[in-house]
Structures are given as C-alpha cells and as structure tokens.
Amino acid sequence: MTYDWLIVGAGFTGATVARRLAEDAGQRVLVIDRRDHLAGNAFDEVDEHGVLVHRYGPHAFHTNSERIWRFLSRFTDWHPYEHRVRAEIEGQLVPVPFNFDALDACFGADAPRLERALRAAYPDQVHVPILKMLEHADADVRRVARYAFDHVFDGYTHKQWALPPHDLDPSVTARVPVRLSRDDRYFLDTYQATPKDGFTALFRRMLDHPSIDVRLGCALGDLGTDDRWRRMLYTGPVDAYFDYAEGPLPYRSLRFEPIYQDGPTVQPVAQVNFPNAHAYTRITEFRHMTGQTDAPGTTRFVEYPIAHTPGETEPYYPIPRPENRAHLERYARLVAQEAPHVLFAGRLADYQYYNMDQAVGRALALFDKEIAGG
Ligand SMILES: Cc1cc2nc3c(=O)[nH]c(=O)nc-3n(C[C@H](O)[C@H](O)[C@H](O)COP(=O)(O)OP(=O)(O)OC[C@H]3O[C@@H](n4cnc5c(N)ncnc54)[C@H](O)[C@@H]3O)c2cc1C
C-alpha cells in the first residue's frame, strides 16, 4: 500500500496526529505500534479478576485546555474523577500535596499557629513551592517547609530517581508545593476525569476512520518494501531511531506488582505514597480512578522504580538533569537533518515528560504549524 503518512506509535501523540491528518487534511495514514495494543502507556485492560487496570501505571486525565478537552470528548464520555493522594508519614496517612489537614495530623496542638503563620506569609496564594518556603524569614514557615521536605519530598524523590533532589533539574524539584488550604485534590485543573469505557476504547474510536489503517505488533523495522509513505511521524525513542549513535539517553523504569483482593476497595483514596519506608514508592487502587462497580474485588499496583536498560525494561521517565538536556541536543542535530520527511514528537521522541493533555496539545500544535501550515 502507498500512504501519505506513516505514524510510528499509537499513543496520544501518534493517534491525535493520525486523526487530524485523516479528517482535516484528507491524508491516507498507516499507524503502527510495536506493542500488540493501542493507547501507548495509557493502555488499560481488564485483568484476570475482572478489574480494569492501567498496565503501565495509573493514569488520571487532567487539563485546563478547553480545546484538548473538547477534542478528546469526541471519542469518549467521561467518568468524573479528581485524583487524591495520601502519604504514609509516621504511621498516619496525610494529604499530598501537604495541606492544612496534613498540618493538623503532623503538628497537633502547634498546627493552628503554623497555619496562621502560613496564611500571613502568603495571603493570596493557593500553594507555594517547598523550596521557596524553606527560604522564608519566618521560623514557623520554615519549620513546615522543612517537615514537608524531609517527610514527603526527599525520600520519595531519592527512590523515584535514585538521585538526591539537588542533582535533578530545578524545573522538577522547584514545583513541589505546600497547599495553603484544606483542598486535598492532587490536581486543580478545570477538567479532570477518566474515560468512561477506558483509555483503550477512546483510542479505538479516535483511530476508527476510513483513511486510517492500524497495524499492531509492528515495529518500524518490520515494515517491508510493500509499504510506502511520503512522510513519517516518529513517536518512539529518539536515540533508538538513530541506533544510539550519540549513546543511549538515560531513563528511569518501573516494575509493577499487582495485588488482588475480593470485596470493596481497601485504600481511602486511589494513591498512597510511601516516601520513607519500603523499596516501593506508591500503591494505586484502580477502582477509585475508573469508577468500576461490576468487579468482584479490587486490584492495586505496587510500584517500584528501577534502573532502565534499553531492550530489557520500558523507558518510563526521562531523567530531568542538565547533562541529559545537553545529551539530547546532540540528537537534535540529527533530528533536524531528517526534516521535513520525518517529524519527531511525543514523550520518547522529544525526551520530555508530558502529561497526557500535553502530549495531545503538542500533537495538535504540530499538525497546525508544521503539517497543515507547513
Ligand atoms: C507511570 C506513569 C504514569 C503516568 N500517569 C499520568 C497521569 O496520571 N496523567 C497524565 O496526564 N499523564 C500521565 N503519564 C504520562 C502519559 O503516559 C504520557 O503523556 C503519554 O503516554 C504520552 O503519549 P505518547 O504518544 O507521547 O507516548 P507513548 O504513550 O509512550 O506512545 C509511544 C508509542 O510508540 C511505540 N513505539 C516506540 N518505538 C516504536 C517503533 N520503533 N516502532 C513502532 N512503535 C514504536 C510504543 O510502543 C508506544 O506505544 C504517566 C506516565 C507514566 C510513565
């Protein structure tokens, strides 16, 4: 077959561009994915106990973009869901981000005074980054920040990245906040939900178009001479595309251990973090997120951060450090040489952590600027 476009990767980036190419530009598109399923890392499936789980880790959709929300809403109804997280600290489960309820739980009789100090220090703010709070002149404000840093942030960050926080890009560490209210939602975005029939069903509908062919279990290198295309969007790892010519880009990987239990849910909220104890970082209970009511029991995933080895483990998180950005620059030169016949976008091709809405936003903008307008 001859196609206008080959899209490598059926995750949010590839599927969004494929749909727009077919629908808005009348292009014939082939989408391939080396995995045997759609949806990339957002893939969900019913496990052997009848519980809908997210194979590559828990995914909660959230965005402030009405455009992205409306685009995705064409392919799914939604289950309203606001993500909530607790951290186990000294035997208690306290809200994350650390908020005024967490103050009560951790500081007892001192909590009202500390709350007053925080309100006085930041009268108009919803939240303040912990690292900024650590520099405040008021000793009570610094005391809260120090506690949140030591008990919620530091241990979790060490486990997650196998690096101390100061070795990571400030863009990651500088954002972790203390919340100046009793709001215990993890995200404050306008739109928050999970797809009513799951993420995979959303992708099935997005790619259901007469001008789109999908081939699963098919890597770029598997395509023979029978298939031809004029241009390509590649959403896989940028270093793999160039045969690691500049060396492998470092990633952090994860291992998930499922635990099933008959009966109702067992955690108070979807996600419990373990900043200081155990080798795992968090346990996630999917039924809180999906709203599933017809399962006989509940499945939780225990999540262990692990080192990544290309070809052996999944590349989950690009490691946000200045030297890795410099490493990526060396690939940027190779990427530029492939344009305009091959475009690169997505969390693996850009070597950039994106939330799902950011991946869709990047894909919509790519289509508008570099495809339709280019
Ligand atoms: C543990 C975890 C939890 C997350 N939780 C959230 C969350 O709660 N909320 C949120 O908004 N975001 C979350 N994310 C981020 C979300 O997963 C990404 O935004 C999204 O997956 C990005 O989509 P993508 O299409 O760029 O990449 P991917 O989903 O990774 O898709 C790329 C696809 O390309 C395929 N591919 C790669 N190389 C080749 C090749 N050579 N040939 C064929 N196919 C290939 C891969 O198999 C993959 O399916 C989470 C991420 C992780 C790791």
- Give me ligand 1 centre to Cα 359, in Å: 9
65 pocket-lining for ligand 1 (C-beta < 6 Å): no
Q: Whose CA is nearest to atom 12 of ligand 1?
A: 355
Residue closest by Cα to atom 21 of ligand 1: 41
Report d(CA 360, CA 355) in Å as an integer.
9
**Ligand 1 centroid – CA 235 distance (Å):** 9
Please state the atom number of ligand 1 nearest to the C-alpha of residue 60: 8
Q: Any residues with CB less than 8 A from the CB of 131 and at least 6 apart, and which?
A: 145, 149, 173, 174, 176
pTM: 0.96
Whole-number Å distance between alpha carbons of 233 and 155: 39
What's the pLDDT at 176? Answer: 87
Distance set, CA 280 to CA 83, 133, 218, 255, 276 (Å): 20, 28, 33, 9, 10
pLDDT digits (tens, 9 = 90+) for 58-68: 999 999 999 99
CA of 120 to the centre of ligand 1 (A): 42
CA of 22 to the centre of ligand 1 (A): 22
Q: Atom 17 (ligand 1): residue with closest C-alpha?
A: 41
Give me the sign of the Cα torsion angle 348, 75, 189, 42: negative
Neighbours of 140 (CB within 10 A): 18
Q: What is the pLDDT of residue 374?
A: 64
The per-residue pLDDT for 166 is 84
Task: Report how far ligand 1's centroid is from the alpha carbon of 7 (Å).
Answer: 14
How close is the Cα of 355 to the center of ligand 1, in Å? 9
Q: Cα torsion at 271, 273, 274, 280 (round to 10°)? A: 70
Ligand 1 site, residue 236, Cβ cutoff 6 A = yes
Local structure of 231: helix, strand or coil:
strand
Predicted local distance difference test score (pLDDT) of residue 164 = 84
For residue 43, the ligand 1 atom closest to its alpha carbon is 29
Q: What is the pLDDT of residue 173?
A: 75
For each of the domains in the chain, give its residue range(s) and CATH number, in order of start: 2-38+207-249+318-372 (3.40.50.720), 43-84+185-196+251-307 (no CATH), 98-179 (no CATH)
Pocket test for ligand 1, best of 30, 59, 160, 239 (most atoms within 8 A of CB): 59
Low-confidence ranges of the chain (pLDDT < 50): none
At a CB cut-off of 8 Å and minimum separation 6, what does 14 contact? 7, 8, 31, 33, 40, 233, 235, 346, 363
d(CA 38, CA 15): 9
Cα separations in angstroms, 77 against 44, 197, 201, 205: 16, 8, 10, 12
CB distance 356 to ligand 1 below 6 Å:
yes
Alpha carbon 178 to chain centroid, angstroms: 21
Specify the 3-state DSSP secondary structure of 23. Answer: helix
- Residue 69 host element (H or E): helix 66-73
Burial 221-250 (b: 16+ CB within 10 A, else e): eebeeebebebbbbbbbbbbbeeeebeebb
Distance 91 CA to ligand 1 centre (A): 34
Structure confidence at residue 165 (pLDDT): 83
Ligand 1 near 41 CB (within 6 A): yes
- Ligand 1 atom having least distance to the Cα of 63: 11
Q: Which amino acid type is present at position 120?
A: A
Distance in Å, CA 171 to ligand 1 centroid: 21
Atom in ligand 1 nearest the alpha carbon of residue 346: 26
How far is 276 from 144, CA to CA, in rounded Å? Answer: 18
